[in-house]
Structure 1
Amino acid sequence: MNQNRLTASGLPTRWFAPSYGMGSLGPAIFILTPQILLLFFMTEILSIPPGAAGLGILIPKIWELVFDPLLGRWSDRLNTRWGRRRPIMAVGAIVFSIAFVMMFSPPNLSSWQSTLAWIVVFYTLTSTGYSLFTVPYATLLAEVTDNPHTRTRIAAWRSAILALGFLLAGAVAPLLVSSKGGGYDGYTYMSIIIALIAFAGMASAVIGTGGTPTKQSQLNVKSGSILAPFQNRAFSWLWIAFLIQMLSVALSTAMLPFYSKYWLGNDPETISKLFLGLTLLTVATTWCWTWLARRIGKHNGFVVATILYGAATASLWLAMYGPVGFWFAVILFGIANAGQQLFCFAIVPDIIAQQRQKTGVDDEGAFTGIWIWGEKIGLALGAGLAGLILQVAGFQQGSGSTVIEQQSPSALLAVALSVSILPGIICILSLPAIMLSKKRVIDISRNLNQYD
């Protein structure tokens, strides 16, 4: 890395951190908008049976099983005048934005099976575009600086703007849908506006991270396996924890529209209020988690954030009892979300840097490809589980904005449990994996110090 090109902060330009943070708008929109709206759109607007809809959300993961890890390896080997990462990020931004709109704009097809096939195809393309952008985007954080505290500050920018993306996806997107009557036209209108916002953020990251020092790949034949990052136990345990947490998040968010409709008064502003409060608190408390990371370490901070996030998810059960319960859950969510988002993406670059110090190999993209793969597997499993639960509980699909009075008690109870208690428990189950990751990081650090 050419030190003459770095600013006093240790970054290529003074605008690197905020420009990098802007790139998280796209990932936030991908993580949250389909998780909140897609299953509801498929079942309530397009009349696709919930079990089939959940299965359809899982199908794209078969392609990503191979694509995401290979993409990471490819980005490690790429060498252009614009760097290794940014050309792929640019292509991903374009593919993501177009496919996202098409996913929420299926034509009037002859059967729900044909409609399901349309959504599966464009959800796959949306997810592919997301990977093309996010894998190299996340990798930049691991290779732009060797200072772990600088990486935490950049991750804080990412976490804060990610919260803004969550606001757009969780609060603005449902309002855009309801502004056009809550039907098919509303979802198409929403997808266009949200896709344009996502593209603007992604393009800002592509342009604003120019000047990042380009490293030449040192990959050797032995590091060629796409699953090689799993040989790093600190990474593999953290990956498992992250996958479990994404499953928890996806299950809860997929159930939110059903919970709002059948338990919280069917007010289109309910979800928007939840994510507005969550976002404001996330932005306001991110610095607290950054401070805590310096005091107790990132893994310990992640443990605290995970416990709080599990409690916050479970507390959504209280929302059915009135505004006090609702806002209590929102406050917990906002504080916990700031820590969870920060530590998820601040620890991985440290592990990658540690791996590079140990092996002398630059394979950041391989690690990031596996990481994003785990994120998408967790999100898909959570959404698929939500569809399966609705199907088994006897939920009746295809009512649009009208509340079906004959929904069975078992279906309504399944919605309430699956938005709160069940995902809260799942989130807590990730704690042992976080602690095992911490143990492996400590062990490797000791070995490196002895070697030095």
Structure 2
Amino acid sequence: MGETPGSGATPLGVRSKMFYGVGSVAFGVATLGLSSAVLQPYLNRVIGLPALWVGAAIMATLILDALIDPTIGQWSDKLRTRWGRRHPLMYASVPLVAASCIAFWNSPADWSPQAVGLYLMGTLVLMRICVSLYEVPSQALAPELTSDYHQRTSLFSYRFFFGVIGGFGMNVVLYQVFLSPENGGVLNRAAYGHYGVLAGLVMAASILISAIGTHRHIPHLAAPPDHPASLGQLLREIGGTLSNRSLVVVMLSGLCSGVAAGMNSALSQYFYLEFWGLSAAQISYLALASVLASVSGVALAGPASKAFGKKAAMLGLFAVATATSALPILLRLLGLMPPNSSPWVFTILWGDAFLATSLAISGYIVISSMVADVVEDAAVRTGVRSEGLLFAANGLLPKFTAGIGVFLAGLLLTLVAFPTDAAAGSVAPETMRQLALVALPVTFGMNALSILVLVFYRIDQETHERNVAALAGTPTLGDEAGEAEPPSAEAVIASAR
């Protein structure tokens, strides 16, 4: 197709974007399976572990995973093989992801609750690590494939599209097939085991297809320095990357939104079943709304970014998405929603899910492209490209705080005395109202704060293009006019010596 990967001058072809994006099916499936929306009720209501224990355990596994991700990212950045830096880890993750997923969802049924709890936590940690072994190098691959400011938004559009299709597609399969009333409903333990087998195979297949499909780009990707860095130099590189102002801003935003995301994810199934009175089939239809929203979200991201700039587009998209997603519960608390017996309830929830998810997906695509632009900004100052470390660090605080959000959700369930052994749809309305009254202000407030923090992100298109030119050692228009240019990577390295 005549592509020049990573050059930024020749657009990446659709085939390359498709192969890169299809690997995120695995991440989407893992996000569904590892999300507290499924884990919290599964461990609490199906396995029978106390809600507070479940929240604490999920928080602990998320924190451990967050600590391991930067190690994987740094390993990926420094790896030297004939298959490049990223692909060996991506290939290695294929059998590990499948095996750990199947093992987690098929826990021994005849063990004591304490033993099963330990088994599940151990395999959950293992599965998270195996997914990260693919996800961190795969994310780091994006800024290597293209340095063009707007091509990156397009590339991440493919990534998010396939991720949403994978996650919500498996959500439909989970609730429409495995947890359907005919198969025993949402509390059927054996059905989760069958789902785990399918999920493991789907994740492994998508990773393998993506790794093989992007393999031909390896000769054109960035390579680490020929000589290993000393410990002191390595620490300076890490410090220079992690102290980048724009990266710090995005990480602080993720810290705030992670709490909200953790709480929303952990409580979503409780609200669907008990607050809104939805069936498993209706929950899957809501997932279908999100699948359709992935198309509109992907279609919106590029034009919004080009029309308003990445930062302004992202702020607007996230602000409207936050307000929209909170609206149905707020209206119910104010007595302005129809009763659950009305067909309008599901119609309103479906429309709200479609709109909020479309806007959120667009926002996440744009902000992911913004994170990719930090790569060159940090490299100009450190002299090295640290894509793996950068993306792993960006995901570190959200995982910490998502774990905290899950723990807080378990705490709230305990405070409102949510009954662990209650049949689906039998919880008292007053219990759910109390839960909504405390959960809604916290999640909305944390999301709003995360948006405000992003105002301080500073890399625009002009800054990015100057960074790319500095790393390539070519002059920019500003240089010709006598303006000061950022130092080149070679100059930074020379001065450090």
Question: Is residue 244 of structure 2 the alignment partner of residue 224 of structure 1?
Answer: no
Measured at CA, do residues 89 and 418 of structure 1 come closer, stay the same or move farther in structure 2, by a change above 3 Å? farther
Q: Secondary structure at the match of 1:438?
A: coil
Match of 1:252 in 2: 264
Note the alpha carbon deviations across 1:46-103, whole angstroms, 9 max, x for none. Answer: 1111000001101223433432111111111111111110111122232222212222
The range that moved more, 187-196 or 121-130, is 187-196
CA deviations 1:223-259 (Å, max 9, x no partner) are 4365553210100111121232233223212212111
Match of 1:350 among 370, 373, 380: 373
2:179 and 2:280 in contact (8 A); partners too: yes
Counterpart residue type for residue 53 of structure 1: V
| Pair 1:275 & 2:287 matched | yes
1:387 corresponds in structure 2 to 410
Letter in 1 for 2:382: T
Distance of 1:7 and 1:238 partners within structure 2: 26
Confirm or deny: 8 A CA contact 2:158 2:298 kept in the other structure. Answer: no
TM-score w.r.t. length of structure 2? 0.82
Is residue 2:445 matched to residue 1:425? yes
- Once the 2 structures are TM-superposed, how far is the Cα of residue 178 of structure 1 from its aligned partner? 1.4
Tell me how far 1:301 sits from its aligned partner: 1.2
> C-alpha separation between the residues in 1 aligned to 2:310 and 2:12?
25
Instruction: Give the secondary-structure state (helix, strand or coil) at the position aligned to 2:419.
Output: coil
Q: Residue 395 of structure 2 aligns to a residue in which SS?
A: helix
1:18-59 deviation digits (Å, cap 9, x = unpaired): 011001111112223332211100111111110000011012
Label 1:328 to 1:267 Cα distance change in 2 as closer, same or farther (>3 A): same
Please give the TM-score of this superposition, normalised by the length of structure 1: 0.90
Superposition deviation, residue 8 in structure 1? 10
1:436 aligned partner? 456
Is the CA contact (8 Å cut-off) linking 2:94 and 2:204 kept in structure 1?
yes
Report how far residue 262 of structure 1 moved: 1.0
Residue among 215, 226, 247 paired with 2:222: 215
CA distance in 2: counterparts of 1:14 and 1:274, whole angstroms: 30
Question: Is 1:412 the counterpart of 2:435 in the alignment?
Answer: no
1:61 pairs with 2:62: yes
1:17 aligns with 2:14: no
Which one of the candidate residues 172, 181, 184 is aligned to 2:184?
A: 181
Partner SS, residue 211 of structure 1: helix
Q: Is the 8 A contact 1:285 1:338 kept in 2?
A: yes
Cα distance between partner residues in 1 of 2:287 and 2:441: 19
Pairing 1:292–2:293 present: no
- Return the offset for 1:125: 0.6
Task: Tell me how far apart the structure 2 counterparts of residues 418 and 131 of structure 1 sit (CA, whole Å).
Answer: 33
User: Percent of aligned pairs with the same residue?
Assistant: 21
Residue 451 of structure 1: aligned partner = 485
Say if 2:362 is the partner of 1:325: no
SS at match of 2:326: helix
Offset of residue 283 of structure 1: 0.8
Q: 1:43 aligns to what?
A: 44
Counterparts in 2 of 1:425 and 1:51: CA distance versus 1, 3 Å: same
Q: Deviations over 1:383-413 (max 9, x none)?
A: 22211211122111134x54445x583x312
Q: Distance in 2 between matches of 1:433 and 1:287?
A: 26
Is 1:396 the counterpart of 2:428? The answer is: no
Letter of the structure 1 residue corresponding to residue 445 of structure 2: I
CA-CA distance at 1:340 after TM superposition: 2.4
Query: Structure 1 regions of 5+ residues with no counterpart?
Result: none
TM-superposed CA distance for 1:127, in Å, is 0.7
Secondary structure of the structure 2 residue equivalent to 1:210: helix
Comparing 187-196 and 164-173, the one that deviates more: 164-173
Give the distance between the partners of 2:318 and 2:44, measured in 1 at CA: 31
1:419, CA displacement in angstroms? Answer: 6.6
Report the Cα distance in structure 1 between the residues aligned to 2:153 and 2:254, rounded to whole angstroms: 18
Amino acid at match of 1:26: A
Aligned length: 448
RMSD: 2.8
CA distance in 2, matches of 1:108, 1:413: 35
The equivalent residue for 1:145 is: 146
> How big is the shift at 1:373?
2.5
1:345 partner SS: helix
Stretch moving more, 37-46 or 349-358? 349-358
Deviation string, structure 1 residues 184-220 (Cα, Å, up to 9, x no partner): 0111111111222222211111111112223221374
Where does 1:40-189 land on structure 2 (aligned, <5 Å)?
Answer: 40-179=41-180, 180-182=183-185, 183-189=188-194
SS at match of 2:179: helix
